[in-house]
Amino acid sequence: MSVFEACPARAPLGRRVITSLAALSGAGVLIAICGVTPAHAASSTGVATTTVNIRTGASTSATVVGRLVRGQKITVNGHATGDWVKVRFRGTTAYMDGEYLDRVGARPAAPKRIPAGGTKIATEELNVRTGPSTRYRIASELAEGSAITLTGRFSGGYAQFRQGTATRWVSAAYLAEAVGSASPSRPVPVSISNPVSSSHRGQVALAFARAQLGEPYVFGATGPDRWDCSGLSQAAWRAAGVSIPRTTYTQFKVGKRVARADLQLGDLVFFYGSNPSHVGLYAGDGLIINAPRPGKTVSYSKISSMPYAGAVRPG
């Protein structure tokens, strides 16, 4: 008989009590069922039977904001219309075609690996472990709706990501793919419990910026789900524990000036003259992550696509 971690880090209202163990008929599997409050009593776990989209409305014409692969799980909060059901995604209500979600016990096996590209969204509150199984210590927790970027490593149904200076693991069964810029709410940055060393601050800042990929550009915006270029760079470095000014021009004057040949991940790269008007975060391989201009979203751009003005390392 096999046992897998199907229970999120805590039940609603922060309760960690496991109230029952239910055996799946004929499957030889035990699943831990977390305690629920009356408000969540009607909720159930839906398991994707194939690759299926998460949408903003109960229609195939509604915007796709996320995606599950076979064996991944999400909380179903009730019926919508026809085959459509309401699900909880990024802390609010979204919709999925219930025809592709098992809720009666067939339970397709959790995926051993998932696509490593893009941003992943936790569909439940999850245990963050120091290694890829329940034998490893719980290091922290990941709130439902949190956004993370995977390293590409998988083991035993667990996916690896970077949390501060450490690599951590979470169950791949609860990591939906984030799709597009129209999302129910902001990606929630991973919380960092310990101070970030100076050698890793740029990596943390870049990880924050990656979590905003697909969010729309809005002039003057500083988040949480829309950005201009310097609003994004300021928030990214704040996530790494470094305070920098608000505007591109003033950000250009802080920190350590860095030669183009010496760029490191997270360094701020500036464009358009000695009084630069645009900034992005260095992402490696001649690329930056930036909020480009109205009508665009946070995305990768080539450094060579704009007139290079210089770079600084804030912390």
3-state secondary structure of 300: strand
Contact 163, 130 (CB under 8 A): no
3 state DSSP class of 30: strand
Give CA angle at 314 (312, 208), nearest 5°. 105
Q: Please provide the DSSP assignment of 121-185 as one string.
A: EESS-EEEESSSSTTS-EEEEE-TTBEEEEEEEEETTEEEEEETTEEEEEEGGGEEEE-SS--SS
Percentage of residues of the chain with pLDDT beyond 90 = 57
The arithmetic mean of pLDDT across residues 98-114, rounded, is 85
Distance separating alpha carbons of residues 181 and 64, to the nearest angstrom: 9
Q: Give the position of tokens 């129209």.
A: 182
- Strands 147-155 vs 119-122: parallel, antiparallel or unpaired: antiparallel
**What is the token pair recorded at 294?**
């109205």
Confidence of residue 30 (pLDDT cuts 50, 70, 90): very low
CA distance 184 to 106: 30
Beta bridge pairs of residue 37: none
Spatial CB neighbours of 301, under 8 Å, sequence gap ≥ 6: 280, 287, 288, 289, 290, 292
* pLDDT higher than threshold 80 for residue 213: yes
| Digit-coded pLDDT (tens) for 55-103 | 999 998 888 899 999 999 999 999 999 999 999 998 889 999 999 999 8
- Residue 106 has a pLDDT of 67
Asked if 158 and 184 touch (Cβ cutoff 8 Å), the reply is no
CA dihedral angle for residue 220, residue 264, residue 165, residue 167, rounded to 10 degrees: 100
Share of the chain above pLDDT 70, in %: 80
pLDDT computed for residue 143 by the predictor: 85
Asked which of 93-97, 140-144, 282-286 is least confident by mean pLDDT, the reply is: 140-144
Which pTM value belongs to this model? 0.50
Q: Are the C-beta atoms of 23 and 29 separated by less than 8 Å?
A: yes
Cis amide linkage into residue 276, ω under 30° from 0 = no
